[in-house]
Amino acid sequence: MSQIHTHQHDAIIVGAGGAGLMAALYASKKSNVAVVSKLYPTRSHTGAAQGGISAALGNVEEDNWEWHAFDTVKGSDYLADQDAVDVLCKEAIDAVIELEHMGLPFDRFPNGKISQRRFGGHTNNETKKPVQRACHAADRTGHMILQTLYQQCIKNKVNFFDEYHVVDLIRVGNAVAGVIAVDVATGDFHIFHGKAVMFATGGWGRCWEVTSNAHSLTGDGAAICFRRGVPMEDMEFFQFHPTGIFKLGILITEGVRGEGGILLNGKGERFMEKYAPTIKDLASRDVVSRAIFLELRDGNGINGQNYVHLDVTPKTVNKYFELAGESRRITREDIEQKLPDIADFTRTYLGIDPVEEPMPIQPTAHYAMGGIPTDVDARVLADAQGNIITGLYAAGEVACVSVHGANRLGTNSLVDLVVFGRRAGMHIAENVPHMELLPLPKDAAASVITEFERLRTSKGKHKPYQLRQRMQKTMTDNVGVFRTEESMNAALAELKQLREEYMGNITIDDKGRIFNTDLLEAWELGCLLELAEVTAYAARNRQESRGGHAREDYPNRDDENWLKHSFCQKDDDQFRLDYKPVTILRYQPKERVY
Amino acid sequence: MQVQLRIRRYNPEQSNKPWWGDYTLQNVNRTDTVLDLLHRVKWEIDGTLALRRSCAHGVCGSDAMRINGANVLACKTLVSSFSREGSNQAKIQVEPILGLPVQKDLIVNMEPFFEHYRSVLPYMINNDPAPADGRERLQSPEDRARFDDTTKCILCAACTTSCPSFWANDKYVGPAAIVQAHRFIFDSRDQAPAERLQVVGDTFGVWRCRTAFNCTNACPREIEVTKAIAEVKIALATGEV
């Protein structure tokens, strides 16, 4: 048996991406905080975000936060809670300015102000035309946010536990007392005993075969909470980003289309004109992903293959600018300067120079709109009635406030993590001094240690990667861009089978303690399986199409029956669903046309 | 195609001697990355192989390794770079980066690297009150361009662990830390270039650089590291930023 070490802090923040670091900066001003992360902070996936972070700064043309809010609500297919969206879009302005003050090297307009570009679904509400709202640092905006926040944490001497993998939550009734982590380097278990716990662990795109997500995005935080009785909200809504590199899934930012890039099918048609006549290639992601999927199904892929082209060559882009009567033109230098990483990716992985040739793309599993339910202060909800779990917080992709509803707008993930990461940090700082440190339950770490020993000493037939590949295949085939009752029944049956094999017939090679990533990957697979099942279950239950959830057997949105959030919990191995009404303020649901 | 993959292995729980693991992989695509091959070994052949990786497309900085003698990111290095067009064979040798203590297989202790990083005050220092209108500090596109290159750094350590001066003396702050210092020294909004110049002007600072250019060659983000170091040297020599 490994040694168990105990640490005591006021608050424990799990995950060191944008949301976790932002929260840490604020929470550590007034309390003793530990940031516990399975990766070095700068490895977090916030760093992979490319195109921009939206805020209605109006630096180059008229804009206001209410337009941003309307776009977000419309993008969400009216499932977002409008009070939370107001917070998001109003505070986005202040948050972006704060990032600039922290040193974030935004690109600049000639007048010295932060540069802004167009992005999918962000519009001038009067003209309905795309608006320049996305603040950016080339096509590495997320990288610069992550670096800047980490730098500020270094400056403010935030207390980090790097490469400590959190594997359980210590829940005591309707409150928390800390988390349990494995020190990756030694394999020892550590109890982090505290008054408040925040999860900022990101998404679970690794449930699918083709994904833009890092290998480490295995949904640990969501799965841990789910196992400890926390409901999962709106899990049926997972975003497929329209433009992933063919087969690899690496993200090609919407900023490419913001700069004028267009989508072309095998017949050379700009097919988005059919699906979104006004805004075309810059429609919401769910709309564009479905359009690509349908084009491919109709045999309109390039050379009959399973991809279409994203074309940002100046030749093509300028041709379409001219056709549209637009005065702007792009040059080779614009692409090199504004999209250097994209150019690097396609040159490295495809041998394709985007200045000369179009890029082969397909939809890629990208972002969880659903997750751990929270209020606007990032406090986790115990149920659909809105009761709070004392001391438990979540923000960023792992959380569901809900500001993204059924489909997230591009750039809004970065807005979400800085705005709600900050609100979590502030709330923790204000409240932790008055909160009670609950005593640790006896043998707090016992159940997770038992599970680790089971995996370590298992002698079954299947290696984790085999089960993982089967899960990814069934999720891709059956719970992808389009779903049906039948496909989801198939997924649920396969996932049940996989869970049985995971519990009873798995084996790993590494029986050691130090850097046992074999063991940790096996444990991560358990998290993915858990969340895949919740996703498929919630998706089968929702008998309508809305945003990222497209049912072929229920092709229309059904506001009468389904304008509500789903809350999924598991009791005694049985799923249970409950519903929470959507908060509607200024924007009444109407048909969604781009 | 077929790849002969040789991996430097080390597991102190079993033996204090490192060894070479030889693996023959079939059905490899020329466009597979070395990370793909390492995953195949780890998942299909020997789960005890330890390595760091996350994003798998060259932006998180986890998987800097020494591959066929050069520091690269495993996820950004394609098999095709080690095999002539038309050939269906490749030999690839993978070792941990040099100059940091190896902990297990391809995993090194990154703490000394991050200690050097922290020593250069890698954060914006500007004690002026924020603009009264509550908006951003202004910066011209030219001023912004001045340090653009060094903002790309992902702290993968490929540069520092390819540097002969760092190999010779690990007290040298190394190229990555200087890149970070450069990023702030030349940012028009920052007010502490002098403090940073003092750190990197120290005995274990920029003057240890012998312009071998290994760092520039190693950088997976194509930062002109040696040039950045030279700019810092010039700033020290002239007292002008």
Tens-digit pLDDT profile for residues A296-334: 999 999 998 999 999 999 999 999 999 999 999 999 999
**What's A211's DSSP letter?**
B
Measured between alpha carbons, how far is A524 from A213 in angstroms, rounded to an integer? 14
Residues in A closer than 8 angstroms to B222, CB to CB, are: 344
Predicted confidence (pLDDT) per residue in A42-60, tens digit: 999 999 999 899 999 999 9
Whose CA is closest to A147, among A203, A103, A96? A103
Tokens encoding B7: 């991996």
What does residue A33 show for φ and ψ, rounded to 5 degrees? -115, 140
Residues of chain A above pLDDT 90, percent:
97
Looking at chain A from residue 234 to 293, which residues have their Cβ under 8 Å from any Cβ of chain B?
Answer: 248, 250
Residue A467, SS3 per DSSP:
helix
pLDDT class of A594 with cuts at 50, 70, 90 = confident
Residues in B closer than 8 angstroms to A464, CB to CB, are: 43
Measured between alpha carbons, how far is A512 from A519 in angstroms, rounded to an integer? 9
The CB density around residue B87, as the number of other CB atoms within 10 Å, is: 11
Q: At what angle do helices B174-185 and B225-238 cross, to 10 degrees?
A: 60
**What's A432's DSSP letter?**
G
Residue A35, SS3 per DSSP:
strand
CB contact under 8 Å between A215 and B53, yes or no, is yes
Q: Which of B51, B52, B189 sits opposite A103 (nearest CB)?
A: B189
Residues contacting residue A139 through CB under 8 Å, at least 6 positions apart:
A50, A51, A253, A255, A338, A339, A340, A341, A342
How far is residue A386 from each of residues A375, A571, A578, measured CA to CA in Å?
8, 19, 12
Residues contacting residue B89 through CB under 8 Å, at least 6 positions apart:
B1, B2, B3, B4, B83
Predicted confidence (pLDDT) per residue in A226-245, tens digit: 999 999 999 999 999 999 99
**What domains are there in chain B, each with its CATH number?**
2-107 (3.10.20.30), 110-238 (1.10.1060.10)
Is A515 part of the contact surface with chain B (CB cutoff 8 Å)?
yes
Q: Which of B114, B152, B155 sits opposite A140 (nearest CB)?
A: B152
**What's A408's DSSP letter?**
P
Residues contacting residue A460 through CB under 8 Å, at least 6 positions apart:
A501, A504, A505, A506, A507
> How confident is the model at residue A593, as a pLDDT?
87
**What's A265's DSSP letter?**
-
pLDDT at residue A221 is higher than 70: yes
Identify the helix (H) or strand (E) that includes residue A323. Answer: helix A314-323
How far is residue B223 from each of residues B152, B175, B180, measured CA to CA in Å?
7, 11, 12
pLDDT at residue A1 is higher than 60: no
Distance from first CA to last CA of chain B, Å, rounded? 53
Global pTM reads 0.97
Measured between alpha carbons, how far is A545 from A552 in angstroms, rounded to an integer? 8
Predicted confidence (pLDDT) per residue in A81-92, tens digit: 999 999 999 999
Residues contacting residue A473 through CB under 8 Å, at least 6 positions apart:
A209
pLDDT at residue A408 is higher than 80: yes
pLDDT at residue A572 is higher than 90: no
pLDDT at residue B160 is higher than 80: yes
pLDDT at residue A13 is higher than 70: yes
CB contact under 8 Å between A214 and B56, yes or no, is yes
Whose CA is closest to A38, among A184, A154, A159, A142? A184
How far is residue A593 from each of residues A80, A279, A363, measured CA to CA in Å?
17, 9, 21
Whose CA is closest to A515, among A182, A190, A215, A217? A182
Spatial contact of B204 and B172, defined as CB atoms under 8 Å apart: yes
DSSP string, A232-256: EESTT-EEEEEEEETTT--B--THH
Residues in B closer than 8 angstroms to A345, CB to CB, are: 57-58
Q: At what angle do helices A18-27 and A412-431 cross, to 10 degrees?
A: 30
Spatial contact of A387 and A229, defined as CB atoms under 8 Å apart: no
> What is the torsion angle, in degrees rounded to the nearest 10, for the CA atoms of residue A298, residue A300, residue A303 and residue A304?
-10
- Measured in whole angstroms, how far is the alpha carbon of residue A485 from the centre of its chain? 25
Average pLDDT over residues B206-220: 98
- How large is the C-alpha radius of gyration of chain B? 20
> How confident is the model at residue B85, as a pLDDT?
87
What's chain B look like in SS3?
A: CEEEEEEEECCCCCCCCCEEEEEEECCCCCCCEHHHHHHHHHHHHCCCCCCCCCCCCCCCCCCEEEECCEEEEHHHCEHHHHCCCCCCEEEEEEECCCCCCEEECCEECCHHHHHHHHHCCCCCCCCCCCCCCCCCCCCCHHHHHCCCHHHHCCCCCCCHHHCHHHHHCCCCCHHHHHHHHHHHHCCCCCCCHHHHHHHHCCCCCHHHCCCCCHHHHHCCCCCCHHHHHHHHHHHHHHCCC
Residues in A closer than 8 angstroms to B189, CB to CB, are: 103
Tokens encoding A200: 């900022």
- Mean per-residue pLDDT over chain A, rounded: 97
Q: Quick check: bond before A44 cis, omega within 30?
A: no
> How confident is the model at residue A143, as a pLDDT?
98
Spatial contact of A9 and A198, defined as CB atoms under 8 Å apart: no
CB contact under 8 Å between A108 and B140, yes or no, is yes
Identify the helix (H) or strand (E) that includes residue A361. Answer: strand A359-368
Average pLDDT over residues A354-365: 97
Whose CA is closest to B230, among B192, B186, B166, B170? B186
Q: Chain A: give the shortest CA distance to residue B144, in Å.
A: 7
CB contact under 8 Å between B123 and A151, yes or no, is yes
Predicted confidence (pLDDT) per residue in B63-110, tens digit: 999 999 999 999 999 999 999 988 999 999 999 999 999 999 999 999
Tokens encoding B9: 């292995």
The CB density around residue B224, as the number of other CB atoms within 10 Å, is: 16
Tokens encoding B37: 């091959």
pLDDT at residue A2 is higher than 70: no
CB contact under 8 Å between A48 and B57, yes or no, is yes
CB contact under 8 Å between A509 and B118, yes or no, is no
Measured between alpha carbons, how far is B160 from B226 in angstroms, rounded to an integer? 11
